Amino acid sequence: MVFVDIYHYKISISLGSMINLPNLFTAANMLSGIIAILLAFAGRIDLAPFAIFTGAIFDFVDGFLARKLGVAGDMGKQLDSLADMVTFGVAPGMIMLVMMSMNLHHYLEYRMEGEVFPETVFTDFFSYINQIADGTETYAIPFFALAIPFFSIFRLAKFNVDLRQTDKFIGLPTPANTLFFMTFPLVLCYGDLSDRSMILTVCQPEVLAVLCVTMSFLLIVEIPLFALKFKQFGWKGNEIRYSFLLISAGLIIVFKTWAIALIVFLYLILSLLDNLFNKKKTDEI
């Protein structure tokens, strides 16, 4: 009887260390990623990005709560990376794979008729996968989308063991990379149709394949990037962060659905400028 009590006590302690409020938000992040994958496979590339955005919110909240409640630890860190692999690794890869296998011209024709989601997205994807499996299709460009989860798993594993990434990032964070790629389904589904030629050019599978490899490679490149973590809210010491937020707001107002990709480029450019400025200050000292 004593053994049973001790056994249950150990179980309760174990569950208590795992199931806390921040970890529940981490799990919600993972579920958002799974929903995004399901939506992508159903051809709903018009909705899948919003599941990703929801996951990104949960990802922010879990870290914020862990710090505020003083429960940040190795368990939460591991859970966070596992959830991020689903939402910011596998999910964007699947969304881009579906998008790169669809007929862009047909989709935009449907959009011009006022339809955001035609069934052709679903049928195009499954027809393509079946033809690849049967050996009747050799066009493999859409599979370059798998570069996103491929590089993401190394990026997340590195983050878990790299002690340099407490107040900055080394390499592009997986959420930023994912948000960059969500630009394309959003532009395709909700972008201004007066930009039809631009949409067709940028969303070509060959262009997206190059971006998938290039941007995902930045996940593991040794480039220091600033983190949006405010130790205090004064201007001094946060110049780069406030500049980023203000310019980003302007980009959203002007460029709308195109803004997300531009904001990620802005993040990279400002980080490089910040590195040069800090190096110059160090050299002067």
Tell me the pTM: 0.89
* pLDDT tens digits, one per residue of 123-132: 899 999 999 9
- Compute CA 197 distance to the chain's CA centroid, rounded to the nearest angstrom: 26
Q: How many other C-beta atoms can be found within 10 angstroms of the C-beta atom of residue 209?
A: 19
What the block records as the tokens of 168 is 């900055």
Q: What is the domain partition of the chain in residue ranges?
A: 2-222, 233-285
What is the reported pLDDT for 128? 93
What the block records as the tokens of 181 is 């790629």
Helix (H, G, I), strand (E, B) or coil at 44: coil
- Compute CA 73 distance to the chain's CA centroid, rounded to the nearest angstrom: 23
Q: What is the CATH number of domain 2-222?
A: 1.20.120
Name the residue with higher pLDDT: 262 or 74: 262
What is the reported pLDDT for 193? 85
What the block records as the tokens of 238 is 């946060």
- DSSP states along 130-171: HHHHHTS----GGGGGGHHHHHHHHHHHHHHH-TT-SSEEES
Asked which of 56-65, 66-75, 98-107, 135-144 is least confident by mean pLDDT, the reply is 66-75
pLDDT over 90, % of the chain: 62
DSSP H helices, the chain, are 2-18, 21-41, 48-69, 74-85, 91-100, 104-112, 120-134, 147-161, 174-190, 196-202, 205-217, 239-255, 259-284
Among 44, 40, 27, which Cα is nearest to 91's?
A: 40
Helix (H, G, I), strand (E, B) or coil at 57: helix
Among 58, 52, 57, which Cα is nearest to 87's?
A: 52
What is the reported pLDDT for 2? 46
| Mean of per-residue pLDDT scores for the chain | 88
What the block records as the tokens of 134 is 């049967």
Does residue 20 surpass a pLDDT of 90?
A: no
What is the reported pLDDT for 172? 96
pLDDT over 70, % of the chain: 88
Partners of 226 in the β-ladder: 168
Q: How many other C-beta atoms can be found within 10 angstroms of the C-beta atom of residue 274?
A: 19
What the block records as the tokens of 172 is 């592009």
Partners of 169 in the β-ladder: 225
Taking residues 99-123, what's their average pLDDT?
A: 81
pLDDT-based confidence at residue 161 (cuts at 50, 70, 90): confident
